[in-house]
Structure 1
Amino acid sequence: MNKSIYTVIILVTLVINTVFPGYAQTDAAAKTLLDKVGQTYEAYKTMQAEFSLEIKQAQQAPHTELGKIYMDKSTGKYRITTASQDIISDGKTQWMVLKDVGEVQITDVAPASDAISPTNIFSFYKEGYKYVSSADEHVGGKPLAAVELIPEDTNTPYFKIKLRVDEKTHQIHDVTIFDKGGNRFVYTIKNAKVNPSLASNLFAFRQTDYQDVEIVDLR
């Protein structure tokens, strides 16, 4: 699957269907944890964070890409920056700058309730998934609670998402997407800052910042 698509949806996202035996019922403990995660992020107005995207493809060496994400929830604005692309939205229009091909794709922002996008990366799981608690894990001595989400729509290109949450802060530590082709996409959130002051021009596309690129208007 195109790497650009996964950068937009993370996450996160963030994002792969078969309903496995044993997942027919939603786990109450998992729901409680996810509710706490949702409440934590709903309290934030703006947010910025660094992230890493590790792509583990079948029969290929893993690839890791680093990036930053900026979000203004009140306006639906966001900006995602990686070495290969920038994704900028003022809440109405999205500009996807594909640096490696010298192209900017312009589209309208038309969020769908069942789609994972930068504006709902921390709440996408509230509808359309069955979920169950997994065994707690530790990373660098930090206790993480794990939840596995199974999409109810069997037409999605992925069959499972694993969410690991910091048990103390109820912030998302990482999201792993398992696609049907045997690939894994691991988003790890780092150095998150909540309610930072974000300049308005951060969410504006300026062509002068990108010389010699082709503009492709898909609206």
Structure 2
Amino acid sequence: MKKIVLMGILIGGVVFNGTAQSKGSLGQNDPKAKTVLDGVSKKFKTLKTVVANFVLKVEGANNSVSDSKKGTVYLKGSKYKVTMEGQEMISDNKTSWTYAKDVNEVTINNVDQNSGALTPAKLFTNFYDKDFLYRLEGESTEKGKVLQNIEMTPTDKSKNIFKVLVSVDKKNQNISKMKVFEKNGNHYTYEITNFSPNAKVDDATFTFDAKKYPGVEVVDLR
């Protein structure tokens, strides 16, 4: 899976930015799951900013852990920044910057407001409501938290992802964990280790300042 898609899925695991809807002719969603997702959505809409730390665990087809990375997500309205080890993805909702530390290169693009791409700002608005079915799989207890587990499956069976498991902290109505299953057998687990609502986040966070990256190569595709 490409780095950008990985980080995009992560944001979906942190917050729901829209309201879960029924699928009509495509199938029937679980009303209990809808209640959970709507609760997360309602709470998020009251927040001015979010800063969340996470751990990404990558597992191969044999369930052996092949990689583990830490990262941080910053959200402010439609603006976002995702940092992982050696990677950054930034958007002020007009321009996006994707930075790769290993080659010291940043790629700049215009944000296409009509695009169906899986950006952090869009993932759980049009993407989620239009492309997935969901059902509540029950509750579990992990690290002292009661989690409500929801299984999501894409209506388009040609997608590389065939299932996503989202675990919601029942008490705080925040996303605690998200596991993505690919058809090739790979699994990606995102666990939120710290969630800070309404943290102070400057608007400068959501732009790329080349002066802070000496010698950076700029690939401007605008």
Q: Distance in 2 between matches of 1:122 and 1:31?
A: 13
Q: Secondary structure, in 3 states, of the residue corresponding to 1:35?
A: helix
Are the counterparts in 2 of residues 114 and 127 from structure 1 also a CA contact under 8 Å?
no
1:12 touches 1:187 (CA, 8 Å); kept in 2? no
Question: What percent identity do the matched residue pairs reach?
Answer: 34
Equivalent of 1:128, from 128, 131, 136?
A: 131
Figure out how many residues of one structure are paired with residues of the other and give that number. Answer: 209
SS of residue paired to 1:185: strand
Structure 2 counterpart of 1:64: 68
Within 2, Cα distance between the matches of 1:187 and 1:113? 25
Measure the CA separation in 1 of the matches of 2:189 and 2:45.
Answer: 23
Listed as ranges, the matches of 1:16-27 within 5 Å are 24-27=27-30
3-state SS of 2:6 partner: helix
Q: Does 1:216 align with 2:222?
A: no
The answer to whether 1:51 aligns with 2:54 is yes
CA contact (8 A) 1:13 1:121 kept: no
Alpha-carbon distance in 1 for matches of 2:3, 2:66: 13
2:79 maps to a residue whose letter is K
Residue 4 to residue 173, structure 1, CA distance change in 2 (3 Å): same
Deviations 1:67-92 (A, max 9, x none): 1111111xx21111111111111221
Gaps of 5+ in 1: 15-22
Q: Secondary structure of 1:11's match?
A: helix
2:57–2:65 Cα contact (<8 Å) kept: no
Higher helix share: 2
Structural mapping, 1:105-116, within 5 Å? 105-111=107-113, 114-116=116-118
Unaligned runs of 5+ in 2: 15-25
Alignment of 1:154-193 (within 5 A): 154-193=157-196
Task: For residue 13 of structure 1, report the CA deviation from its aligned partner.
Answer: 6.1
The residue type paired with residue 9 of structure 2 is I
Take 1:202 and 1:56, find their aligned partners in 2: how far apart are those partners?
31
Q: One-letter code of the match for 1:47? A: V
Name 1:90's counterpart in structure 2.
Answer: 92
Deviation at 1:134, TM superposition (A): 0.8
2:152 corresponds to which of 140, 149, 162: 149
Instruction: Please report the TM-score for the alignment, with normalisation by the length of structure 1.
Output: 0.86
Q: Distance in 2 between matches of 1:185 and 1:111?
A: 28
1:40–1:147 Cα change, 3 Å: same
Change in 2 beyond 3 A, CA 1:4/1:131: same
Tell me how far 1:149 sits from its aligned partner.
0.5
Secondary structure, in 3 states, of the residue corresponding to 1:201?
A: helix
**Structure 1 residue 169, shift from structure 2 partner:** 1.1
Match of 2:9 in 1: 9
Q: Partner of 1:65: helix, strand, or coil?
A: strand
Of 79, 82, 85, 1:80 maps to: 82
Q: CA deviation at 1:179?
A: 0.8
Write the distance in 1 (CA, Å) between the matches of 2:114 and 2:194: 29
| Superposition deviation, residue 4 in structure 1 | 3.6
- State TM-score, norm by structure 2: 0.85
Quote how far apart the aligned CAs of 1:119 are.
1.7
